[in-house]
Structure 1
């Protein structure tokens, strides 16, 4: 019973962290999400229809970062035979995102904003790839 409770708590915390990161991505990193790639198709379509290249660029950066993270996470999880070590990558990357945010005075712009978006999406993709490689794809946290 303790193991199931710990797993549920970890899943809840990971999901809350994802929601917070998506809010930051949407409100401050270009109007796109860091973990919900299906939702980023909307901004790509809006940008295509309105000519808002910046929005399309942000969405493509998020999708690319997430895809790269998914490949990285699943590859490492498969090679090491476990998800726990790989899940430690996420907080390291997110600490780097936080440091980058602070270094830009809390108002990232231009290439710095896109780099933070790519890193945040990479962290979320890494988690998704890891969870999937660990055989827990029925319990998504991103």
Structure 2
């Protein structure tokens, strides 16, 4: 899997196959501090709508829409940057890559498969692109 390989190339410990295709990259600084997680979804959606870009899906009836490829890319980018800053960080950062986000089945499968036995985050952050006014950040407390 490309995501796991990339995280491993950064030197992160990677736990694969959590709840199916889910995985977690672990950046442990070796110093005490908070345990923070970043969650990115990485699923495709079944649809027969035509792709309007030249880098369209190679699989008929399946596309990455709703920004999921962007979410994965952002998660990998954060992992890359924070790995480069490891000597300046404390605590542990988890990078959760979750499949099947649209129907919540991926999150449930990962949790049912022991995600929180593997990682112990104090806080979890993530994003989802949605229609909202430019420059608006929407949040929801736990």
Fold match (TM-score > 0.5) = no
TM-score between both structures, scaled by the size of structure 2? 0.33
Higher helix share: 1
Higher strand fraction (1 or 2):
2
TM-score in terms of structure 1 length:
0.33
